[in-house]
Amino acid sequence: MEENNIILTIKSLSKYFGALKAVDEVSFEVKRGEILGLIGPNGAGKTTITNVVTGTYPKTSGSVIFEDTDISNLKPYQIARKGLTRTFQVVKPLIGMTVEENVLVGSLYGRDKRNTDMKNASKRAREIIKLVGLESKKDSLVSDITLPDLKKMEFARVLAMEPEVLFLDEVMAGLNPAEVEEASILVKRVRREKELTIVYIEHIMKAVMGISDRIVVLHHGRKIVEGTPQEVVNNSAVIEAYLGKRYAKEVNNEG
């Protein structure tokens, strides 16, 4: 029962770039249906974990178990077809195509074992465009739309792939507070409707707190804490990682 509840297991995963240990023996589990926050200061290794888990970079060592299979030697497209998908911190739109075509590609490819003929895929793409609120822009070229719309487009595109697990890499970056608010509501709603499991990556702590069920904190490529938002926010190691040693001491002395 418990076992079945775990959809993704990351086991002593490491990724080195030469001498730099960007990810260093990191282990954690992701439960089916949860939103797991993955936070850490700049350069902590969040994007690198995403890149290794989704097959963009080869691992140095460790394993990634997705629904009972080790996916850590598969190619990105194979992993995507199994139902594990990601957005990019720096958006990667398909330049030269319209918003609708971008989403359609996600719908046509993406997870396998579903109906991806042209008619079905187009219908799904249109539904999802409506869901994220991009209908008025669907015929615009992606080169002609604003950054918030691009982020929405990318979100719609991964949704159209109908994944089970979704890594969202700093989807809020570059948005203003009002847009962040709107986007969080959208993410929560979609998660519920589509029964998604989400690994939610942010380096701004505040943004993650409200949305995550649990949080994993990375620092210098290592996992330093794992727990509920409350536990994490009061953890001195986390405060230290974010604000430096002196501040951590002050907080501890006061508390």
Ligand X SMILES: Nc1ncnc2c1ncn2[C@@H]1O[C@H](COP(=O)(O)OP(=O)(O)OP(=O)(O)O)[C@@H](O)[C@H]1O
Crossing angle of helices 236-243 and 245-254, rounded to 10° = 140
With CB under 5 to 8 Å by kind, the binding choice for 223 among Mg ion, other proteins, ligand X, none is: none
Q: Does 60 bind other proteins (CB under 8 A)?
A: no
Size of the site for other proteins (CB under 8 A): 32
Residue from 47, 48, 54, 98 binding other proteins (CB under 8 A): 54
DSSP string of 147-166?
Answer: HHHHHHHHHHHHHHT--SEE
Contact between 158 and 85 (Cβ < 8 Å): yes
* CB of 23 vs ligand X, minimal distance in Å: 7
Strand arrangement, sheet containing 61-66: 20-31, 6-17, 61-66, 69-70
* CB of 54 vs ligand X, minimal distance in Å: 13
Q: Token match 């697990």: residue?
A: 165
Q: Does 94 bind other proteins (CB under 8 A)?
A: yes
Q: Which amino acid is at 127?
A: E
With CB under 5 to 8 Å by kind, the binding choice for 247 among Mg ion, ligand X, other proteins, none is: none
DSSP string of 53-64?
Answer: HTTSS--SEEEE
Distance CA 4, CA 68 (A): 10
Q: Does 110 bind other proteins (CB under 8 A)?
A: yes
Q: Which residues bind Mg ion (CB under 5 A)?
A: 46-47, 89
Q: What residues between 222 and 251 interact with other proteins by CB under 8 A?
A: none
With CB under 5 to 8 Å by kind, the binding choice for 16 among Mg ion, other proteins, ligand X, none is: none
